[in-house]
Every structure is written in C-alpha cells, then in structure tokens.
Amino acid sequence: MPSLKDLRNRIASVKATQKITKAMQMVAAAKLRRAQEAAEAARPYSERMGSVLANITQAIGGGGDAPALMTGTGKDDVHLLVVCTAERGLCGGFNSQIARLARDHIRKLLAEGKQVKIICVGKKGFDILRRDYASMIIDRVDLREVKTLGFVNADAIAKKVIHLFNEGGFDICTLFYSQFKSVISQIPTAQQIIPAGVASAPAEAIDGGNAVYEYEPEPGEILSDLIPRNISVQVFRALLENVAGEMGAKMSAMDNATRNAGDMINKLSITYNRQRQAQITKELIEIISGAEAL
C-alpha cells in the first residue's frame, strides 16, 4: 500500500502530464487548422491540373506519342513504393496504419515474385519499415527541418522518382499516404502515380463546348511537360493531406491522453482521501482506547 506521500507525488506527476498533453492537443489543433487551410489552398491547382490533363489526353486520344511516364514501361517487375509518414510520433495509430498498409502491399508483391524498392518520406515510416525491409529502402527524405511544407519539397521528391524512372529503376510507382477525412478518421491510401493518367481519362465532356483546342507547342510536348508536374502535384497533395491527418490524429490522441489523465487523477484522489480518513480514524481509536484504559 503506497503511503500518503507517495500518493501525493503521483497525483502531482499525473497532473503535470495532463498539462503537457493538454498543451500538445491545443498546439495540434492550431496546426491542424493551418494544415487544412494549406490543403484547401492547394486544391484549385490540382483540380485544374486534372481537368487540363484529361483534356489533353483526349486530344491525343491515347496515341503513340504519349510519354512513358503515362503509359508505363509495359512491365511490372520492379515496384517503387513511396511511403509518406509523419516525422514525429505521439499521434495514435497514424504512422503504423500507413506502415501496415505498405507492409501488406510489400508482402503481396514479394509473394508474386516482384522486386520492391522503397523510398521513405518521414522518419517514423522509415523506423517501422527498417525492421523488416531494410535492404529494400533505397532512399529516405527527411522533412523534419521543414516548418511549412512547400511545393519545393514535393517537387524534390517527385524529381527523384522521375529521375529513377528514366534510368529504368522501376516500372510501377505507388504512393502511400493517409487521406484526411476528418479529425477522427484518416484513411491510409495507396495511389499509383506511375504510370499515371488512367484515372484522369474518364473526365471527358466536362468542357463539352470548347473541345477544339489549339496547342502551343504540340500536345505531346505539353503532355511530357505536364506529367512530371502532375506527379509533383500528387506528391504535394499527399504530403499536405498527411500533415493534416497527422495533426488530426495527434489531436484526438492527446485528447484521449488528457481524459485518461483526468480519470487517473480522480482515482488516485479517492484512494488518497480514503487513506487519509483511515489514518485519522486509526489515530482517534488509538487516543480513545488509550483514554479508556486509564
């Protein structure tokens, strides 16, 4: 049985922890708002990009001059996985969810006899995947120094991927990130980015009336300029969603922690009070029985 002093110390320490988790929750809430704004601001660009891309693909009509980034190499032997996670922990199951999805995917690919390469974005994913697949990780991108995520960061990652593709380093590239649905739910998602464009094709007939575009320079040339840019945009969007998701997850995790700390303080206070009362009673009995013995 802990003494009264021990109990007092524990209550004090739990209270201190509660203050910390509360503060972290508030910081996460503020950051979440900013991350959501950033994601919101990036949306018009990616939407326009999608519609323009659909327009051009339609103009080319799947002709032979579509760049390799779009059509793929025709094989699917080597897979590249870009796994985006957070830089910090203490955000519930956020990182492990993404890592689990990636791991399932890797296992499936390995069972099919494919070769797998991994690029880790963010420290946590690297830490988790390193345990099982250290030999497959070819690169890791550290974003810890980055305060506000810029397009430059995403562009650098995309350039790396495209460079590798042009060297024939892989056939299919899949992006792993967490889709931000709401503060309490983030959905780990796998999205194929190379070869791209298959998904953007059915967006036709949106701009129905003005289908006759003039292209300057040739559509093929625009497309070969556009596709790498589209990959950067996809990566950028994934990173932004990830940040928002991380903050959401952290917020709810810290909210839980704060509540747990509150429960614990209540329980400890009850034990403390009970024990104090027991001690008082004991002392009274001692005094009374002492007086009676006289």
Partner 1 sequence: MAEAFKFELVSPERLLVSEQVESVVIPGAEGEMTVMAHHAPVMTTIKPGVVTVKTAAGGEERYVVFGGFADIVPSGCTLLAESAVAVKDVDRADLARRIQEAKEDATDAKDDEARSKAEQFLSQLTTLEGAILPA
Q: Which own/partner contact pairs does 269-275 have at CB distance under 8 Å and 24+ positions apart?
A: 269/11, 271/7, 272/4, 272/7, 272/8, 272/11, 275/1, 275/4, 275/7
CA 205-228-179 angle, to 5 degrees, is 75
Note whether 232 binds partner 1 by CB under 8 A: yes
Note whether 62 binds partner 1 by CB under 8 A: no
**Binding segment toward partner 1, per CB under 8 A, in 2-10, 91-99, 231-239, 250-258:** 231-239
Q: Are 97 and 126 in contact (CB under 8 A)?
A: no
Please report how close the Cβ of residue 94 comes to partner 1 at its closest, in angstroms.
Answer: 24
Please report how close the Cβ of residue 121 comes to partner 1 at its closest, in angstroms.
Answer: 17
Separation of alpha carbons 199 and 116, rounded Å: 23
Note whether 150 binds partner 1 by CB under 8 A: yes
Q: Are 55 and 74 in contact (CB under 8 A)?
A: no
Which of residues 147, 210, 289, 291 is near partner 1 by CB under 8 A?
A: 210
Which of residues 217, 291, 293, 294 is near partner 1 by CB under 8 A?
A: 217
**Binding segment toward partner 1, per CB under 8 A, in 48-56, 114-122, 188-196, 198-206:** 48-56
The encoded tokens of residue 118 equal 């991994």
Which amino acid, one-letter code, is at 30? A
165 membership: H or E segment, kind and range:
helix 151-166
Q: Is 84 a catalytic residue?
A: no
Q: Are 81 and 174 in contact (CB under 8 A)?
A: yes
**Binding segment toward partner 1, per CB under 8 A, in 63-71, 91-99, 125-133, 216-224:** 216-224
Note whether 216 binds partner 1 by CB under 8 A: yes
Could you give the residue numbers annotated as active site? 91
Question: Which residues sit at the interface with partner 1, rule CB under 8 A?
Answer: 38, 41-42, 44-46, 48-49, 52, 55-56, 150-151, 154-155, 207, 210, 212-217, 221-222, 225-226, 229, 232-233, 236
